[in-house]
Structure 1
Amino acid sequence: MDNAELRKIIDQYVDDRYYDKDKLLQYLSMHQMVGTEIFDYVDKKSLPGGKQAHSRYLDSDSGYYPLHKESFIDRMPFYFYMPDIDDYHDGGCLDWLFGELRVQEQQLGVYKSLDLLEDFYQDLRYLFYEKKISLKDIFNYTLHQAGHIESGLFTMWVDYLHIRDDYKLESDIMPDRLITEFNRALIAAGKEPEIYNILYDIRDGMFVRNDMRLEFPGIFPCDEDGNPIMEWISLRIKNAKNIFCTCEKSKKGILYVQITPETVIDAFDVQCELENDDDCWVRAYTGPMATEFDYEALKNYRNVLGLKQQEVADAIGANVRTYQKWESGETTPDGTNLLRLMNWLNIPNVHEVTKWK
């Protein structure tokens, strides 16, 4: 590449308010390897309004390692992209590098993080050069989807576009609800969709109750009408009056369940290590009419103590025939008699003698 072509690329992607274009051209004309000193060398140190060129912070510890000149030129649009720093919601390359990728570096180690960094730049190349997506959209689409920088969502977007290409899907390049369209793409590709878990808070539990409505926090895929797609959410809900959610784009929201006396809700335990997923579901909520008296448990408690039916009936002041009907399941003891039974048979709580329908 001659200097005229290189100058054209520099003029297109480098903002001379922040960088010295002549110095950059001179450096690239003289070096085959571009070291970490390049950004500090071309940075204009004094800028109006106290603003700084963000790429001056790119170095071996923060998203850059020495590259051959051709590779550096190929990545110049990303290195020198300047977001609108007056717009809080405008992200840039450095935001990603200082955000999610640095966190992953701390968790996975430097060598693994270099692989992640290279994957990140390859994804940027795919979006910019192959898909012809603008730099502003590349760095802001998933930020606007989640409301914050989220590397997992960025990777999901890239995977979604690859599936879209491979299977010639006609969905949008930047869908309004990425998590929903990604699952639809997975299904079109014959793959299992993502299942989204509720966000469990150890202080508040799985949900917050507001009168006859339960509120589950999480990220929930919705259809075009804003209805939650329950088969992609880790809740099994029966006998609810209504289910709806706040599900703007791919942001965290609330799933609302209007309960009835017979509502039953099971939640998937994401920390479960059992081989069978069916064993990892836990009961999150049971309505009062969704349970029934467990007459077999009553009989077991009596047998453990070695008591006869007549003895228990006499102890609580009930007719023996009435007691026999409780143990056979023909009838159910009322509240007063149930408390007397629990006291006499040492039953610790009412859950021991109730079961789900």
Structure 2
Amino acid sequence: MEMEQLINQVVLQYFQNKGVQEKFLDYLNRHDVVSREIFSYLGKDYSNIGDSLLFPPIPKKVFLRRIPFYFYKPDISADRVGCLSQYINSFYINNRNEESYRDKIEVFYEALEKLLYDYKIPVSEIFEYPIIQSGRIEQADLLLQWVHYLELAQKYDIEDLIPQHFFISYNSLLEKEKLPPVIFDLKEMYIGEYVGRTKNIFRMEGTFPCDEKGRPIMRWIGVDVRNATRIWAEVNEKHKGYLFVEANPKTLIRGRNCWGPNDDGSDAWYELYAGPQLMEFDFEALKDIRKREGLTQQQIADWIGASLRTYQKWESGDTNPDCYYLLRLMNVLDIRQVSELTKIVDVD
């Protein structure tokens, strides 16, 4: 399409006011590169658009291709809330400490263009689908994943451009490509707490993708459960809800990155529950804690009313303290949790 035809098409589609049409044409006739000043030039009804976007100067032809995104207004009455500024804002927040964030925004705009011009998906659907799938606004990363899904779907002759359960469809294709799937980590239920317990039933909150029979797909969930009696999920249509584990004396539950990854950025797995038959007294931890507190073996033995030889056997792993002495050790060494003095045996 020739530039003049493209300009005329944009004018007729997006500007009903004749004065605004004239200003738009005047600006484009005088500029080969468009900056965000064009929005304020068009008048007060448009000035806020430029203010809400990270808008570096771009070639006129690029600007015209992106007009559908700049001037789209969500239909709030129809519960459609997604718009360009939300996505750009999330991209800025997530990348503001990176020098290349403007380059990443350009990648995002290119993804929008693919969705609209290559896959013929309406702008309203483009902005709303990631929100429907995640239940949250400002989902720039999910939109980029959507484009990747469409590229893979084309490779495997899959015609479903807008799958009902995006991450199940996307993860299935990622695994076909031998690429790592999207993993859903646990949601913090209370401050610093990721698991709740009622007797031997443990409950965790988050997004838990399930198969067609309603069974949680554990390899896509940031939870490692060993030797459970039973595992099930209760989720809504977005697969958000609760994961339940019925534990037994040999059950182990670990959560991925609950309190942050390792210092090198790799995944950290935190123990959320260990059955009593998996727990052993950690004599090495006892020794480390005593040294941390700056105490001698004799001092500890005297304070808890044990002989030096008895205490030395605990630190060497020859014997274990009974509950009477364990409580006294925790008091003297300022140990708040029994887990500080226990370790988990190997679990298959």
Whether TM-score is above 0.5 comes out as yes
1:214 counterpart residue number: 202
**1:272 corresponds to 2:273:** no
Partner SS, residue 58 of structure 1: helix
CA distance in 2, matches of 1:138, 1:19: 30
Please tell me whether the aligned partners of residues 236 and 267 of structure 1 are also in contact (alpha carbons under 8 angstroms): yes
For residue 152 of structure 1, the aligned residue among 136, 141, 151 is 141
2:109 counterpart residue number: 121
CA distance in 2, matches of 1:17, 1:182: 43
Using the TM superposition, give the Cα deviation of residue 307 of structure 1 relative to its aligned residue in structure 2, in angstroms: 4.9
1:320 counterpart residue number: none
Unaligned runs of at least 5 residues, structure 1: 46-52, 309-326
Whichever of the two has the greater Rg, that structure is 1
CA distance in 2, matches of 1:353, 1:30: 75
Partner SS, residue 77 of structure 1: helix
CA distance in 1, matches of 2:232, 2:21: 57
Q: AA paired with 2:20? A: D
Moved more, 192-201 or 150-159: 192-201
The alpha-carbon distance between structure 1 residues 241 and 38, as it changes in their structure 2 partners (threshold 3 A), is same
2:120 counterpart residue number: 132
CA distance in 1, matches of 2:280, 2:192: 29
Equivalent residues, number = 311
Please tell me whether the aligned partners of residues 40 and 50 of structure 2 are also in contact (alpha carbons under 8 angstroms): no
TM-score by length of 1: 0.72
The alpha-carbon distance between structure 1 residues 9 and 284, as it changes in their structure 2 partners (threshold 3 A), is same
Aligned pairs (5 A) from 1:119-198: 119-149=107-137, 150-165=139-154, 167-170=155-158, 172-198=160-186
**1:68 corresponds to 2:56:** no
CA distance in 2, matches of 1:18, 1:154: 35
Using the TM superposition, give the Cα deviation of residue 135 of structure 1 relative to its aligned residue in structure 2, in angstroms: 0.6
TM-score by length of 2: 0.74
1:10 counterpart residue number: 11
The alpha-carbon distance between structure 1 residues 24 and 85, as it changes in their structure 2 partners (threshold 3 A), is farther
Please tell me whether the aligned partners of residues 52 and 85 of structure 2 are also in contact (alpha carbons under 8 angstroms): no
2:222 counterpart residue number: 234
Unaligned runs of at least 5 residues, structure 2: 288-296, 312-317, 332-336
Aligned pairs (5 A) from 1:223-262: 223-237=211-225, 238-246=227-235, 248-249=237-238, 252-262=240-250
Please tell me whether the aligned partners of residues 81 and 92 of structure 1 are also in contact (alpha carbons under 8 angstroms): yes
CA distance in 2, matches of 1:259, 1:18: 70
Using the TM superposition, give the Cα deviation of residue 134 of structure 1 relative to its aligned residue in structure 2, in angstroms: 0.6
Please tell me whether the aligned partners of residues 214 and 257 of structure 1 are also in contact (alpha carbons under 8 angstroms): yes
**1:37 corresponds to 2:37:** yes
The alpha-carbon distance between structure 1 residues 235 and 22, as it changes in their structure 2 partners (threshold 3 A), is same
Aligned pairs (5 A) from 1:287-326: 287-288=275-276, 290-291=277-278, 305-307=308-310
CA distance in 2, matches of 1:105, 1:276: 20
2:47 counterpart residue number: 56
Q: AA paired with 2:7? A: L
